[in-house]
Structure 1
């Protein structure tokens, strides 16, 4: 059975662009009333200033009090999506403890606290979608901290699906997606990396934010899907 998002209240935690932006616009296009939340509330307001039906709120996933306050402000909710992340890349010898802690706080502990404070407010038929990532499925040197964070997010989704039932909880695991996350490589470096990845993965292309947004919509509206990680990665772990 497939549910509808028409007039449903959806909370999207994350930035004002990239995957979070694509998810926000996709659920709004499906008829949802959307609240976007993140640490840069003003930036979110500006990003969606011309978009009716989208309200911006403040939340810091590393601060439980902030999450509890958000829950009080928004009241009941139908669906929650947490896209926030803080990457801690590098080889073991170069990893910074604070960066690894922030990665877990943002992508694992933060969503756990979201569930703690918001699950009692999720309406019948509602869902919670969080984010993992391909590094958990394809181990590589230099992504150790990213991999263990994403692996923990996968386990969190399954654990919450059992404890919060019948609220449905799933994770989406993106592969290499063309967002600003790769801009630090520089224009040529990014182009070379994308070309290499496209040649390697079975899909023979780089993913885009809309690919991920469609997976989130599926997770939200398929009423028989729970405790699952949807791998939207072009088959990258096979390469």
Structure 2
């Protein structure tokens, strides 16, 4: 990968694995210094202990005071990426109100951290948030995920207009092999992946690298703003 982010500072909010880790490593590979932040700074510090140009911070996107404190500590930055999520799956009869609220608070209200971070974003900088395929392909059992992701799509467009010329975009992954599906067990996971990949036009399951490449593109394409990049293998077409 060319150093399209050379000497830039990128803040990545999320866990130490899956998509957040892939984005962190891709941004560093493109030349950036990466600040990773999440609710478990200790876990992040262990994950990136031996990795140069990666530092760790604490933030809880459901607690605005911690966002303001993070902004004060890190100073000037070039790009912000929020991968944080809290899923609330199930049909409406069984949905837990608090779980739905947490999902929305983390993925939609949380990225309003732009309130504190936007004044510190350098010229040519950007914010990338995460939506998801559930907003484009409605299915029983994903109601809360769908409305949260749909709100994230609208948030990206709204912030792009209000914060201009800071660019704001969303990335909407499809089914990605992040390890989150391991809870299904090997057999059920294999069956599910086979079913999805046999129907989507890409004829495969997505990888974390697919998503990380899209995030780097969103950060570095200076004419891209107010857009949701759907990295989903064409799943909504099926």
Measured against the shorter chain, the TM-score band is over 0.9
Shift of 1:4: 3.0
Matched residue, 1:138? 137
Matched residue, 1:204? 203
Matched residue, 1:22? 22
Superimposed CA distance per residue, residues 131-175 of structure 1 (whole angstroms, 9 cap, x where no aligned partner): 000000000000000000000000000000000000000000000
Shift of 1:110: 0.3
Whether 2:183 is the aligned partner of 1:168: answer: no
Normalised by the length of structure 2, the TM-score is 0.98
Query: SS at 1:24's partner residue?
Result: helix
Q: How does 1:37-186 map to 2 (within 5 A)?
A: 37-112=37-112, 114-186=113-185
Normalised by the length of structure 1, the TM-score is 0.98
Query: SS at 1:49's partner residue?
Result: coil
Number of residue pairs matched?
237
State how far apart, in whole Å, the 2-side matches of 1:77 and 1:88 are: 32
Matched residue, 1:229? 228
Query: SS at 2:185's partner residue?
Result: helix
Stretches of structure 1 that go unaligned for 5 or more consecutive residues are none
State how far apart, in whole Å, the 2-side matches of 1:170 and 1:228 are: 5
Superimposed CA distance per residue, residues 8-38 of structure 1 (whole angstroms, 9 cap, x where no aligned partner): 0100000101000000000001100110000
Query: SS at 1:93's partner residue?
Result: helix
Matched residue, 1:31? 31
> Would you identify which runs of 4 or more consecutive aligned residues in structure 1 move more than 6 Å?
none
State how far apart, in whole Å, the 2-side matches of 1:65 and 1:191 are: 42
